[in-house]
C-alpha cells in the first residue's frame, strides 16, 4: 500500500512536470527536449530562496511557478517561436543545445552537488493510517497535484480560454482563420506549462533529487509520459504518468537489479503497439 501510494505521488508529480510538454507537443507539434530545464529552474529557485534567503517553503512554490512562467514566456517569444515551422531534426538539435547550456550554466553558478531542501516540520514524518505509513510530504504532493489537475481540467473544459486552446490544438490554421490569436494563446500556454514544470520541480526537489543533470535524467520520463499518454487529452498523460510512477516505484522496489529497465521496455512495447499513444483518439492527421 505504501508503495502504491508512493507510486501515485511520484506519478502525480511527473504529470505536473510533463503536462506543459504535452501541450507544446500537441499544439504546435514541437519537440521540446528542454522542458526539464524549466523544472530544474523551478527547483533551483526554491532551493536558493529557502536556503539563502530563508523564504518559507509555501511562499516559494508560487514564486517558483511565476518565475519559471516568466522565463518560459521570454524564451518562447525570443527563441522558440521561429522554431515551430522547422523540421523536427532542427527542433531536437535546438532543444538539446538549450539543455546542455542550462546544465552547464547551473553547474557554473550553483555547483554540481546535490541540493537539499529543508521541509517545514509539519510536512515531515509519516501518518499511520490503518497500519499503512503515508509520508506527510507525499500526501501533500498528491493533494496539491490533484487540486492542480482538477483546476487544469476545469480551465480546459469550462472556460473560454480552454475552448480557444482546444480549438487551436485541433487545427491551428482554422482557429487562426476564425480570428483567434493562436500565437498569443500559445505564448500563454507555454508560460503556464513552463510554470507548472517549475512548480513540479520545486515540489519534487525533495523526492526526485536536484542537481544540474536533472533535465537530462528526467527528459526521457517526461517524454514517456507524453508519448505514451498521447497529446490530445489531459487524462491520457495523467494516466500514463500514474502508470509510469507506480511501475517505476514498484519495479525499483521488487526487482532493484533491473532498475529502469522495465520502464523502458514497457514504453517501447506500448509505442510499437500503439504509436499514437495509449489514450489517443484516432488522429485525423
Partner 1 sequence: MSDTPVAGASPLPSPASAPAGPTTAAPAAAASSPAARSLRGYSRWRWWELALFAALPLSWLLLPGQALLLNEIAIVALFAISLDLILGYAGIVSLGHAAFFGFGAYTAALFAKNVMPDPIVGLAVAIAASAALGLATSVLILRGSDLTRLMVTLGVASILYELANKLDWLTGGADGLQGVVMGPLTVPFTTLKGFDFDLSGRTAYAYTLVVLAIVLFVSRRLVHSPFGTSLQALRDNRLRAASIGLSVPLRLVAVYTYAGAIAGAAGALLAQTTGFASLDVFDFHRSAEVLLVLVVGGTGYLYGGIFGAIVFKLLHDLIAAWTPQYWNFWLGLFLVVLVLVGRERFVRPWTWFRVPGKR
Backbone angles phi, psi at 131, to 5 degrees: 65, 10
Instruction: Report yes or no: 34 and 164 within 8 Å, Cβ to Cβ.
Output: no
**How far apart are the C-alpha atoms of 64 and 81, rounded to whole Å?**
24
Q: Which residues of 183-192 are buried (b: 16+ CB within 10 A; e: fewer)?
A: eebbbbbbbb
Q: Does 101 bind partner 1 (CB under 8 A)?
A: yes
Cα Rg of the chain, angstroms: 19
**How far apart are the C-alpha atoms of 20 and 190, rounded to whole Å?**
7
x-or-dash string of contact with partner 1, 26-45, rule CB under 8 A? -----x--------------
Q: Give me the residues paired with residue 132 across strands.
A: 129
Cβ distance to partner 1 smaller for residue 40 or 199: 40
Q: Does 254 bind partner 1 (CB under 8 A)?
A: no
Cβ distance to partner 1 smaller for residue 21 or 64: 21
Cβ distance to partner 1 smaller for residue 75 or 165: 75
User: Of residues 14, 41, 49, 98, which one binds partner 1 by CB under 8 A?
Assistant: 98
Q: Does 85 bind partner 1 (CB under 8 A)?
A: no
x-or-dash string of contact with partner 1, 227-246, rule CB under 8 A? x-------------------
How many residues contact partner 1, by CB under 8 A? Answer: 42
Distance from the Cα of residue 99 to its chain's centroid = 15
Q: Residue 130 is placed in which grid cell?
A: 490503518
Cβ distance to partner 1 smaller for residue 147 or 269: 269
Q: Give me the residues paired with residue 128 across strands.
A: 133
Stretch touching partner 1 by CB under 8 A, among 4-12, 46-54, 93-101, 122-130: 93-101
User: Of residues 111, 120, 177, 275, which one binds partner 1 by CB under 8 A?
Assistant: 275
Q: Where are the alpha helices (DSSP H) in 132-275?
A: 136-158, 160-170, 172-177, 182-208, 214-229, 235-254, 261-273
User: Of residues 70, 73, 156, 220, which one binds partner 1 by CB under 8 A?
Assistant: 220
Stretch touching partner 1 by CB under 8 A, among 99-107, 128-136, 185-193, 201-209: 99-107
**How far apart are the C-alpha atoms of 225 and 221, rounded to whole Å?**
6
Q: Can you give the binding site for partner 1, defined by CB under 8 A?
A: 25, 31, 79, 82-83, 86, 88-90, 92-94, 96-105, 107-108, 216, 220, 223-224, 227, 257-261, 264-265, 267-268, 271-272, 275-276
Amino acid at each position: 500500500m505504501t508503495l502504491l501510494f508512493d507510486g501515485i505521488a511520484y506519478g502525480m508529480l511527473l504529470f505536473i512536470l510533463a503536462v506543459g510538454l504535452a501541450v507544446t507537443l500537441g499544439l504546435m507539434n514541437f519537440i521540446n527536449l528542454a522542458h526539464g530545464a524549466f523544472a530544474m529552474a523551478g527547483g533551483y529557485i526554491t532551493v536558493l530562496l529557502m536556503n539563502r534567503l530563508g523564504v518559507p517553503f509555501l511562499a516559494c512554490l508560487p514564486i517558483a511557478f511565476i518565475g519559471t512562467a516568466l522565463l518560459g514566456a521570454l524564451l518562447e517569444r525570443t527563441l522558440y517561436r521561429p522554431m515551430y515551422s522547422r523540421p523536427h531534426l532542427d527542433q531536437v538539435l535546438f532543444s538539446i543545445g538549450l539543455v546542455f547550456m542550462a546544465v552547464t550554466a547551473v553547474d557554473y553558478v550553483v555547483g554540481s552537488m546535490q541540493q537539499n531542501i529543508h521541509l517545514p516540520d509539519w510536512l515531515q514524518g509519516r501518518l499511520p493510517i490503518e497500519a499503512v505509513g503515508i509520508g506527510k510530504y507525499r500526501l501533500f504532493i498528491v493533494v496539491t497535484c490533484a487540486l492542480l489537475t482538477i483546476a487544469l481540467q476545469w480551465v480546459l473544459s469550462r472556460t473560454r480560454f480552454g475552448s480557444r486552446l482546444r480549438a487551436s490544438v485541433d487545427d491551428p490554421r482554422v482557429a487562426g482563420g476564425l480570428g483567434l490569436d493562436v500565437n498569443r494563446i500559445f505564448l500563454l500556454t507555454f508560460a503556464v506549462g513552463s510554470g507548472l514544470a517549475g512548480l513540479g520541480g520545486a515540489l519534487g526537489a525533495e523526492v526526485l533529487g536536484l542537481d544540474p543533470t536533472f533535465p537530462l535524467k528526467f527528459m526521457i520520463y517526461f517524454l514517456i509520459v507524453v508519448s505514451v499518454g498521447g497529446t490530445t487529452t489531459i487524462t491520457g498523460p495523467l494516466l500514463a504518468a500514474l502508470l509510469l510512477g507506480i511501475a517505476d516505484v514498484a519495479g525499483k522496489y521488487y526487482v532493484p537489479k533491473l532498475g529502469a529497465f522495465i520502464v523502458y521496455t514497457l514504453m517501447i512495447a506500448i509505442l510499437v503497439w500503439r504509436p499514437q499513444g495509449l489514450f489517443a483518439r484516432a488522429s485525423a492527421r
